[in-house]
Chain A
């Protein structure tokens, strides 16, 4: 059952559960952070409203810079601003930033140890109709491999708002992964949030279960639905929501593996080098258990609605359900 200590949305499993785009939470969070700290500046590469930076731009036009369609310059100008004490947020579609400007992020931001927050919107399949070029399925891999980079993948708009405010105060480079389309609101303003901390949203700490589902981004919602379905079949599941992919909360993941003995990872991203890989890196070194990966299997995307694409690429609820049963069957 839902872990009540996390103060999640009480209407979570209602048919009319509220749905808000995760990117909207970023826009509101940047405005809040900007009000608190006048060092915060916003930079956009011709996608101000799409990435929801327009709220900040309208309130603080003197702290907003439009660089045009130039993502490489976007990253390095931000590095220069941070060298002078600013806290820059740079936003674009994830396919272009960090997709286009990885080396600039590596050298001018991470290698320089500059506190720049890189906001990649429209990640995963959330920009469905635009097709494969615009669907970033590689950004977690690109960002989590970089030393000094923190990688955050909020599960809903409220968490995105909290992550944005917290990133402004972190003092290091951060990547925040956002989705375009509306997704269910899982948490509430009262839900605990902390960079680096995973949260058990379904099941109880220290209580055994048949399977542990570890999910990131909006797919946490699908994982929770699967846990409910499994419960009806008398299979107990826990769901760990991992918002900070790097540094990953090893302790919570190991604890989940110890109490469940089998793990399913769920992400809207390539399986190779992604979130599931990060979870596996923790478990194979500390507490090896069978793992099934739900994610994209070395393919590019295509046009369609996000849900059509999630089904086509085998990231739907049925696939999580099937993987959960399969991994239970792999237990010794």
Chain B
């Protein structure tokens, strides 16, 4: 899939809107995960605005592609992207994590059935996507045009269940399965390679019989082209290892694991004063649009 410059500019603006919503949501909630949510804004924007076959007005349309969010803690970015794509009102985003809200801190289908699964406990998303992909193949055979996307964090690959699921995906040659790993190198206790080394991650997936793509997860052309190649691989599952910058778009959060599980307005040593964090973040995000625009001129 080749994107025109105009389309790229459109996506960059959408991703900026999503990031602004994420900051506003987390500030309103007073808790939540900033880094991964900001880091995955470009991937989610690409999915919901160009890649997915879906209908925001009819979320239960049977022909839709499925998005299984395995790392449920970054759901603010999915809620924000879905709202901006028309699934529900953008205003509702500010109810995140509040009593009675459909937008639970980690997604729960009982509250928001348009989510394909509930998640929070890590490491079970690939298994569920494998189950969905198997069902699709049973019902529609190899000619099915539905794809099953599973978004996982990198830290959660510490969980053994992922590797059970990968073995099965490889064994069953699930060409309709596309796993997207948010390779942002952080988890709660620190950098992934310090907590529990994952490298060589691409080789690990390859040895589980996955087709592997490695991309810059903030480059819309790379995202859509990698998905296109993954879709073309029909005799086995694919993984896209998306290198992202945790906290992308907010300078004091970028590449800093301390922002994995904290919202803006948190007192952290060496960071801006907590009462100024939201203002700085929103200002940077709004001006980011301008920077990107000038780069493309």
Contact = CB atoms under 8 A, between A and B. Distances in A.
A72 B161 CA distance: 6
Given A70-B164, A77-B130, A80-B133, 16 more contacts: A68-B164, A70-B167, A73-B164, A73-B168, A76-B131, A79-B117, A80-B68, A80-B117, A81-B132, A83-B66, A83-B131, A84-B131, A84-B139, A104-B127, A108-B127, A111-B108
The A contact surface, by secondary structure, is helix
A68 B208 CA distance: 15
16 contacts: A70-B167, A70-B168, A72-B124, A72-B161, A75-B127, A79-B127, A80-B129, A80-B130, A80-B131, A80-B135, A83-B135, A84-B135, A107-B118, A107-B120, A108-B118, A113-B109
What interface size band does chain B fall in? 20 to 34
A83 B161 contact: no
Interface string A12-47: 000000000000000000000000000001000000
B194 to A, nearest CB: 26
A49 to B, nearest CB: 20
Contacts of B136: 84
Contacts of A63: 138
A63 B137 CA distance: 11
Nearest to A43: B131
Contacts of B68: 80
Given A84-B139, A108-B124, A77 B134 contact: yes
Interface in B123-159: 124, 127-136, 138-139
Contact of B138 (A62, A78, A113): A62
Interface of A: 41, 62-63, 65, 67-68, 70, 72-73, 75-86, 88, 103-104, 107-108, 111-113
Nearest to A65: B134
Interface of B: 66, 68, 108-110, 116-121, 124, 127-136, 138-139, 160-161, 164-165, 167-168, 172
A62 B108 CA distance: 32
The 4 closest A-B pairs by CB, nearest first: A80-B131, A76-B127, A84-B135, A73-B164
A262 B68 CA distance: 52
A67 B168 CA distance: 6
B1 to A, nearest CB: 26
B110 A81 contact: no
